[in-house]
Amino acid sequence: MIVVNIAEAKAKLSEYLEALARGERVIIAKWNRPVAELKAIAAARSEPRPIGGARGAVTVLPSFFDPLPDEWLDAFEGGPPRGAAVRAAERPLPRYAKPRTRKPRRGGR
């Protein structure tokens, strides 16, 4: 691990970037107190990921292919709500107090 002050990091940045490429950690300090850490960026993937890497980890149950209930279909298709949604929609909205407004100041303040 390399610890450097800001002025030294500015003067020798290319050297510290080479040290990062070798796998070292570089800490930048201000008045000998750490404030930042330089990190190397991981190399980009050169080949595509293999297909089927999670095979066997996910199980799709046969019920997945069953038709959806009518309430769900109505909700997706924009039909009228049923059940608890109707009861909630029939309740009156609460009344709120009128918001107070301030009078504008006079006198140039």
Sequence ranges of the domains in the chain: 2-38
Could you give the CA distance from residue 20 to residue 2 in angstroms, rounded to a whole number? 10
| Backbone torsion region of residue 55, taken as left when φ is above 0, otherwise alpha when ψ lies between -120 and 50, otherwise beta | beta
- Distance between CA 36 and CA 4 in Å, rounded? 10
**Please, what is the average pLDDT of the chain?**
81
pLDDT at residue 97 is higher than 60: no
DSSP state of 42: P
> Could you tell me what percentage of the chain is helix, strand and coil, using 3-state DSSP and rounding each to the nearest 5?
30, 15, 55
Whole-model pTM over 0.75: no
> Residue 84 pLDDT more than 60?
no
Average pLDDT over residues 54-78: 85
User: 2-38 is classed in which CATH architecture?
Assistant: 3-Layer(aba) Sandwich (3.40)
